[in-house]
Chain A
């Protein structure tokens, strides 16, 4: 620290108090202020232009039983919010696993074989933008029951980021690494496990993260349409029962769970990077 700068003269110990306050501001105060602002806007909206929208206070009152006893089970469609979230997560886990198991090899083949890529790339580009709400009826036609249809929908919607990022990762492997494999005369399986897989892993993980986000998004839509127990099912049912406070509760829960899922993936990614 230069003695000539006047701003640093107030801080004799490290870290300076102004730095501590800056950190506190950024981490806590500013986000808190943002939340308070949104609550105020919400409150104003519920009093003025949108009478149907319940105010924050009312939402809290009506949601309390669901939040305080998150794991209670009072009836099939009247359970604590924790239970609903758990049902949704369980369905997501299954669908997501299918998406990864199908998508990763597909991505590898797309990246490795130009022939394969040219044959199937147009199909993938056309299927990619299709919304889950369009896949679900097809799923019901194919599988007739709502659970397999839901899994099908989640899998086919969540698959694309994994496929495309894996393909990109495979194509991005430097020719030098492949030359090393050739000079060492590595067998195909050794080349795959020792060179292709570790080199593609960062790209694959980007795909996995994006896929998880999409899977979580899809589950809510699917549950709403099929009425399965879960957050989406609860949301739609409460809308039909005119208990709008629960809609907001569901929205916040969906957002929070999605955020936590993304954080968890990020942590796993960091672990694998460091390993």
Chain B
């Protein structure tokens, strides 16, 4: 029996004419202790999907269950690492994480809560910055605080919404290693949203592509059976890596690609024919611009 199940989940926004179906028929099963990466286009509905798993949004139809219990509201059993970190800027690193600990472990003594908070600050290597405010931290450090806060809640599922999206490539690599290391310690169930296929393959046990919107669906999941610990440099040469990558990208670019529609319109061209400057001016041309009215049919491709 899967740990987290999504069945036939659909979500749309707007009403009547303006309605867009963002997600259609999402089916997902995640086993306990798995790290699943969902890869997709920007604006495809990845954040919508993760918000629904977190309980921040309700689906229009379909069901989401965690441990056979329906997900109806947000809670600390599903820790979320938001795309924009969402650290409270008037609290220090310690206080941000302590807020979560305080809220979840109500029966603990203050000393135990402090110890727990310090443990997670140390786990993300931020002990020197313990009393800094988020405004005094770099993007990578803020993200680590966000991860520490989510982990300190001891959630059943960890949801990462494009956690490394706002960082430069070099910091991303460092933080990918950190996430990998932290995950290996606890082996929590993690669902990670990313737009980087390589990142997904590097970190995940399974990688699932999400097609482009509207009406985005999940493609077939690809098991990443590369041995752990994974070496970024060596990985590039492994044939299995290339195979996985090709499969995922093939789905994203072909079957899951944004749909193009051909739109045909009648155009009325302007009334004056532009002068052709490459030809020597003939006597006729010296008379002045020639007026031509012309009706033309143009076909252009539009992203749906």
Task: Check if A184 sits within 8 Å of B88, measured CB to CB.
Answer: no
Is A61 interfacial (CB-CB < 8 Å)? no
Task: Check if B86 sits within 8 Å of A177, measured CB to CB.
Answer: yes
- Give A186 to B86 CA distance when docked, in angstroms: 15
Task: Check if B88 sits within 8 Å of A183, measured CB to CB.
Answer: no
Is B203 interfacial (CB-CB < 8 Å)? no
- Give A198 to B90 CA distance when docked, in angstroms: 7
- Give A198 to B99 CA distance when docked, in angstroms: 14
Is A119 interfacial (CB-CB < 8 Å)? no
Task: Check if A185 sits within 8 Å of B86, measured CB to CB.
Answer: no
- Give A209 to B215 CA distance when docked, in angstroms: 50
Task: Check if B79 sits within 8 Å of A195, measured CB to CB.
Answer: no
Is A58 interfacial (CB-CB < 8 Å)? no
A185-B74, A185-B103, A186-B103 given as contacts; is B79 within 8 A of A180 (CB)?
no
Task: Check if A184 sits within 8 Å of B103, measured CB to CB.
Answer: yes
Task: Give the Cβ gap from B87 to chain A, nearest Cβ, in Å.
Answer: 8
In chain B, what residue has the closest Cβ to A275? B90
Contacts of B80 in A (CB 8 A): 179, 183
Interface residue ranges of B72-89 to A (CB < 8 Å): 73-76, 78-80, 82, 84, 86, 88
Contacts of A184 in B (CB 8 A): 76, 99-100, 103-104, 153
A184-B76, A184-B104, A185-B74 given as contacts; is B86 within 8 A of A179 (CB)?
yes
Task: Give the Cβ gap from A263 to chain B, nearest Cβ, in Å.
Answer: 24
Task: Check if B82 sits within 8 Å of A179, measured CB to CB.
Answer: yes
Task: Give the Cβ gap from B205 to chain A, nearest Cβ, in Å.
Answer: 25
- Give A185 to B77 CA distance when docked, in angstroms: 10
Task: Check if B84 sits within 8 Å of A183, measured CB to CB.
Answer: no
Task: Check if A180 sits within 8 Å of B86, measured CB to CB.
Answer: yes
Task: Check if B75 sits within 8 Å of A185, measured CB to CB.
Answer: yes
Interface residue ranges of A179-211 to B (CB < 8 Å): 179-180, 182-186, 190, 194-195, 198-199
Is B37 interfacial (CB-CB < 8 Å)? no
Residue of A174, A190, A194 ringed by the most chain B CB atoms within 10 A: A194
In chain B, what residue has the closest Cβ to A185? B75
Task: Check if A183 sits within 8 Å of B56, measured CB to CB.
Answer: yes
A176-B84, A194-B99 given as contacts; is B90 within 8 A of A183 (CB)?
no
- Give A177 to B104 CA distance when docked, in angstroms: 17
12 contacts between A and B (CB under 8 A): A174-B86, A176-B82, A176-B84, A177-B88, A179-B56, A179-B74, A179-B82, A180-B88, A183-B54, A183-B75, A184-B76, A190-B103
Q: Which residue numbers of B lie inside 8 Å of A, CB to CB?
A: 54-56, 73-76, 78-80, 82, 84, 86, 88, 90, 99-100, 103-104, 153
Given contacts A183-B56, A183-B75, A199-B90, 10 further A-B contacts (CB under 8 A): A174-B86, A179-B56, A179-B74, A182-B73, A183-B54, A183-B79, A184-B76, A184-B153, A195-B88, A198-B88
